[in-house]
Amino acid sequence: MPPEKPVPALANFEKAFRPRSVAVIGASDDATRISGRALHYLIRAGYRGAIYPVNNRRETVQGLRAYAALADVPQTPDIALIALPSRLLEGALTECLEQGVGAAVVYAAGFAETGSDGGALQDRLAAIAAAGDIRLFGPNCLGLLHTDSGFAGTFSSAFDTALPTPGGAAIVSQSGAYGGHLAYLCEKRGIGVGYWVSTGNEAGTDVADCIHWLALQDDVSVILAYAEGVRDGETFRAALQAAHDHRKPVVFMKVGQSAAGATAAQSHTASLAGTDAVFDALCRQYGVYRAQTTQEQVDVAYAADRGRFPTGRSLGIITVSGGFGVQLCDAAERGGLDVTPLAESGRAKLRELNPMGSDNNPCDTTAGWLNDMSLITKTFDVMYSDGGYDSIIGSFTMLPDSPTYGEEIRKAIGAGTSEFLDRPTALCMEARTEVVRAYERDGFLVFDDSERAVTALSALAYFAVHFDTPVVRRDRKRTTRAPLGSDPLSEHAAQQLLTEAGIPFPASTLVTHPDDVAKAAADLGFPLVMKIVSPDIAHKTEIGGVVLAVEDEAQATAAYATVLERSTAAAPSARIEGVLLGVMCPKGVETIVGVTNDPVFGPTVMFGLGGVQAELFRDVAFRVGELDRDEALKLIREIRGYPLLTGFRGASAADIHGLADVLVAASRFAVTHANGLDSLELNPVVVLGEGHGVLALDALITVRPDPREH
């Protein structure tokens, strides 16, 4: 187990990113070596705090006075950059502890990633840091930097020539190489970067900690994150909650999706979930944008960095040629933006303005306006004021790059959008970098591909909706009411627990003696279903342990004997608790409700349609933690087969609110029993007609040992 986190959880981050003084332990003169490069970067970047090279074999290092030991340094440095081989690290970190250093970066590799010896050393480093509330980065990381204060605590070759151009973006990457790549791409794209950190082996500080602290900084506009996995679900959720509450867009690249399919899991629900799907669900719950490609990550960060978020998904399109408009319509449909028609008031204005152009959305202006730039100004104005679009994409191909027209076009579009600076206007163009930068200074987003512009605007709309939607808070007061024990639970026992938790099952009676069958059956009413009850028989139907459509008392008595006989034949040593008589369920839409207790993220609810939809077509959706009714309704709407619940092809609508209640109850039950629950599956859950409720027909609970008992 990793050591306890220091309290408060975000201690000393300030000293790590904006230190007033830095010690470089093991600093060398050779700027091509790791031990020299961080110091070189610090000096070159004009870091304004004090720099203390620590090297017991030199008087000076890179022109600065060197100190033989950390204890010799005239003040306690806020942060120590430790460029030492692994055998010297424990000693160095202990010195940091003794001196009261606030933060430390360990660059060396060869720890947990190489096996158990390295892992043990890494744990010892973590323990030393925790003992002194030292904010530890690494080991096996490339460090961190803060552009504004010229603090470059990194040796990444990505900063060989210069630190990033200052700006609001923050880059948090487990992989230093990927983080460096992102920094390069941001620079190329004109995105200023204020904070950069690589977390490496994360002995003390992980990606989630960094996101959490950065979310609290006023000068951060957007956070670009990269991770291969998440180890601590609680910390991670706290970080995403902070980002949500502070309206900080997080654009996440989480790799390892394809591996997720490989982890085979015992229960049906678990095999569908997989940790990557849970991560994905969590992103959607907290409004984090998960990018599929690096290009998409940078595009979305670029757009989010400007801080203009549209209030809806309607899109106006203005082009210089019809074909680009059609292409943008296709892209908008794929990207979930609505190319709604222009209001008649606007259409009339466009007709008068530009008889050769089109008078609707998308608006093909043709290129006639090159002789009268006011036309393009007015077109933008009409589209925004009469169309009321939440955002506009203008497609101008190479025209803005023209030495003849370029400058005029920029001014004309600027004039047409100046009243609508609250809404993002994206322009598609092919132009030299200096032309693009001029447009950007005017507040436009510039893309060289229609699809990429649509993707970015769609992401902005996603952020806007999520920022304004509260996240369901966890009820920390919910405690374990009853331990589930460590034995398998029979269906009957599971049903009892779940009924108590508010999940509806058909009326039923457990019968343990043949003489009781007739009366129990008559009391319930016919037709009935009869099932064997045994914690040792998981697949009742396969062994003939279920009899359907029992119509009268005589059939019931006969079925009782049959079911027992078959079960004993198939599983001679099974413990038999009796036979369950249950009322037959009316027809409805069959769904599946499942919960897996993810080792990282905790109880995760899965919802899908029954039958092949969930299994073959993977038409399932997930939510982490406890749901409320609104969130449950969102979950229900997320599956592709949702129309089957609203009255597909003339069928009557199903009881979606009843279904939502079941999801809420299942999530609460799972959160309450999180310590002992392994998984819960209700399959099928039959959703009856609107107002007629929902019935779970089968319940399976698997348990695992409560970790607190060990």
- Report the distance separating Cα 332 and Cα 313, nearest Å: 10
Rounded to a whole number of angstroms, the minimum distance from the CB of residue 450 to a copy of itself is: 7
Residue closer to a copy of itself, measured from CB, 16 or 644: 644
Contact, 625 vs 667, CB < 8 A?
Answer: yes
Torsion, Cα 218 445 403 358, to 10 degrees, reads: -150
Residue closer to a copy of itself, measured from CB, 81 or 158: 158
Rounded to a whole number of angstroms, the minimum distance from the CB of residue 600 to a copy of itself is: 17
β-partners of residue 104 are 80, 136
- Report the distance separating Cα 174 and Cα 138, nearest Å: 9
Residue closer to a copy of itself, measured from CB, 370 or 438: 370
Strands 528-533 and 143-146: unpaired
The two tokens of residue 91 are: 């000693």
Residue closer to a copy of itself, measured from CB, 72 or 333: 333
Rounded to a whole number of angstroms, the minimum distance from the CB of residue 373 to a copy of itself is: 17
Residue closer to a copy of itself, measured from CB, 93 or 543: 543
Rounded to a whole number of angstroms, the minimum distance from the CB of residue 615 to a copy of itself is: 7
C-beta pairs of 355-364 under 8 Å, 24+ apart in sequence: 358/322, 358/325, 361/316, 361/317, 361/387, 361/389, 362/316, 362/317, 362/318, 362/319, 362/325, 362/326, 362/328, 362/329, 363/316, 363/317, 363/318, 363/319, 363/325, 364/319, 364/320, 364/321, 364/322, 364/325
Contact, 211 vs 250, CB < 8 A?
Answer: yes
Rounded to a whole number of angstroms, the minimum distance from the CB of residue 86 to a copy of itself is: 14
- Report the distance separating Cα 639 and Cα 618, nearest Å: 9
Residue closer to a copy of itself, measured from CB, 49 or 336: 336
Sign of the Cα pseudo-torsion (364, 368, 373, 378, in order): negative
Rounded to a whole number of angstroms, the minimum distance from the CB of residue 190 to a copy of itself is: 15
Rounded to a whole number of angstroms, the minimum distance from the CB of residue 396 to a copy of itself is: 10
Sign of the Cα pseudo-torsion (151, 4, 86, 172, in order): negative
Contact, 564 vs 579, CB < 8 A?
Answer: yes
- Report the distance separating Cα 671 and Cα 481, nearest Å: 11
- Report the distance separating Cα 242 and Cα 244, nearest Å: 5
Can you give the binding site for a copy of itself, defined by CB under 8 A? 157-158, 174-178, 180-181, 184-185, 188, 226, 228, 253, 255-259, 292-295, 320-324, 326-327, 329-334, 397-398, 430, 449-452, 612, 615-617, 619, 640-641, 643-644, 648-649
Q: Tell me the one-letter amino acid at 141.
A: C
Task: Identify the CA nearest to 361 among candidates 337, 343, 336.
Answer: 343
- Residue written as token pair 């319930």: 524
Rounded to a whole number of angstroms, the minimum distance from the CB of residue 181 to a copy of itself is: 5
Rounded to a whole number of angstroms, the minimum distance from the CB of residue 108 to a copy of itself is: 13
Residue closer to a copy of itself, measured from CB, 60 or 292: 292
- Report the distance separating Cα 670 and Cα 663, nearest Å: 11
Rounded to a whole number of angstroms, the minimum distance from the CB of residue 105 to a copy of itself is: 19
Residue closer to a copy of itself, measured from CB, 17 or 396: 396
Residue closer to a copy of itself, measured from CB, 101 or 185: 185
Rounded to a whole number of angstroms, the minimum distance from the CB of residue 672 to a copy of itself is: 33
Task: Identify the CA nearest to 169 among candidates 293, 296, 305.
Answer: 305
Residue closer to a copy of itself, measured from CB, 334 or 473: 334
Residue closer to a copy of itself, measured from CB, 110 or 443: 110
- Report the distance separating Cα 610 and Cα 680, nearest Å: 16
Rounded to a whole number of angstroms, the minimum distance from the CB of residue 685 to a copy of itself is: 18
Task: Say which residues have a Cβ less than 8 Å from residue 161's Cβ, sequence separation at least 6.
Answer: none
Residue closer to a copy of itself, measured from CB, 162 or 398: 398
- Report the distance separating Cα 321 and Cα 375, nearest Å: 15
